[in-house]
Amino acid sequence: MCDRCGHSQPSYNSCRNRHCPTCQASQQARWIQQRQARVLPVHHFHVVFTLPAELRRFVPANRRLLYKLLFDASAQTLLTLGEDRLGGQLGVTSVLHTWTRDLQLHPHVHCVVTGGGLTREETPRWIASRPEFLFPLGVLRSVFRGKMLDGLDRACRAGTLRIPPELRSEVGWADLLSRLHRKKWVVYCKRPFGGPRQVFEYLGRYTHRVAISSARLKAVSDEVVVFRTRGDKVARLHPYEFIRRFLLHTLPPRFRKIRHYGLLSPAGVRGRLPIAEALLPAPARDPEHAGAEEADEPDSRAAIEAEARRCPLCADGRLFREAVRRLPTAAARDGPSPTVWDSS
């Protein structure tokens, strides 16, 4: 309850499940702080690789295989083009998302890519990309498509890809690959960042997001679940259908939804990333955000907790905890519902 305006809201014990919409904020803040030192002081690009609609029906039976293939194909596309077009090794951070606003299955990978790479010469150099351009979209699409289809064909021939009976013949599988090869795959690329700080803010919105947040729920009953989709629009689903759609986005056990490649891979962090940092100029200090940057140091857990306790209604008050009285069994059965009492 707020000590100023009296606003109250439930506060649940943390289950720490990565699919829980209320348990991700603190993990997200800690993850950003840990990664802050690894972001190079260069411009970055945002690239999104999307799994075609024809392959989405394979996902429920092949989640681990297809998600891993999506990660590998998108990262190798960027790293290959970085070597071929720029002559250097890029740094890539990839985050898997699997949903649309109405909880339909829509697997895609968000990639944050350095605007340049480190050469593999005996005396390495940093080669920067053009500030507003990374690679041609047509080239990104074709290389990504080729790597995905090659991985799918290998998995099918090895018997590790579960496919419908009509595709198990040579003719059926070849026809699907042919249609996918002719299709224009969806790849999105732009430069949304003005500097390392914008990278942190962007990653904070995407790294630990789950399919739906509690704030989007408008009404829940035995007959219908109503939740916001985009703007003022809402979706209305039967609870069984709502649960089915939500469970489409649960990940396999111990599957990593955030991965790092190139200069930001575990091997790169221990080896080539320090070389790139030494070659690049120190990032300019932004006076507008100087105080905020100091507050974002790894020892700022107290600041994070203080922000979490800020009242969302009046913004000036501070939330404090109240206990819920547990009534005796007979009173709970015959009397009124449990009430909240002021622990102060």
Domain boundaries, the chain: 1-21+299-344, 42-211+254-281, 212-248
Position 331 scores a pLDDT of: 43
What is the structure's pLDDT at 334? Answer: 44
Percent of the chain with pLDDT over 90: 57
The predicted-structure confidence for 311-326, as pLDDT tens digits, reads as follows 877 878 887 777 655 5
Structure confidence at residue 200 (pLDDT): 66
pLDDT, residue 333, reads 42
Give the Cα-Cα-Cα angle 45, 50, 51 (nearest 5 degrees). Answer: 155
- State how far the Cα of 196 lies from the Cα of 43, in Å rounded to an integer: 8
Query: Which tokens sit at 231?
Result: 């703007």
What is the percentage of the chain residues whose pLDDT exceeds 70? 74
Q: How confident is the model at residue 291 (pLDDT cuts 50, 70, 90)?
A: very low
Task: Kindly state the tokens that stand for 260.
Answer: 């790092």
How many Cα atoms within 13 Å fall on the side-chain side of residue 337? 1
Q: What is the pLDDT of residues 163-176, one digit of tens each?
A: 999 999 999 999 99
Q: What's the pLDDT tens digit per position in 73-110? A: 999 999 999 999 999 999 999 999 999 999 999 999 99
Phi/psi at 225 (5° precision): -120, 125
- For the record, the structure tokens of 74 come out as 């998108």
Is the CB of residue 22 less than 8 Å from the CB of residue 12?
yes
| pLDDT above 50 for 208 | yes
Is residue 147 within 8 A of residue 109, CB to CB? The reply is: no
202 within 8 A of 193, measured Cβ to Cβ = yes
For 149, the 3-state DSSP assignment is: helix
Is the per-residue pLDDT at 13 higher than 80?
no
Listed in sequence order, the DSSP H helices in the chain are 25-35, 53-56, 63-81, 137-158, 170-182, 196-206, 239-247, 266-270, 273-279, 290-295, 301-308, 329-334
Taking the C-alpha atoms of residue 210 and residue 298, their distance in angstroms, rounded to an integer, is 24
E-assigned strand segments in 61-141? 91-99, 105-114, 116-118, 126-128
Does residue 24 have a pLDDT over 90?
no
CB 113 within 8 A of CB 44: yes
> What is the torsion angle, in degrees rounded to the nearest 10, for the CA atoms of residue 11, residue 16, residue 17 and residue 18?
100
> Residue 1: which of 312, 217, 327, 325 has the closest Cα?
312
User: 90 near 113, Cβ under 8 Å?
Assistant: yes
**What rounded mean pLDDT belongs to the chain?**
83
Tell me if residue 323 falls in helix, strand or coil: strand
* pLDDT greater at residue 304 or residue 162: 162
- For the cut 50, the answer to whether the pLDDT of residue 335 exceeds it is no
* Separation between Cα atoms, residue 51 and residue 326, nearest integer Å: 50
Name residue, tokens 């109240």: 322
- Cα separations (Å) of 71 from 92, 135, 148, 272? 11, 19, 10, 22
- CB-based contacts of 326, cutoff 8 Å, min separation 6: 338
What tokens does 146 get? 């080729």
Asked if residues 2 and 319 have their Cβ atoms less than 8 Å apart, the reply is yes
Choose between 206 and 87: higher pLDDT.
Answer: 87
Would you call 284 helix, strand, or coil by DSSP? coil
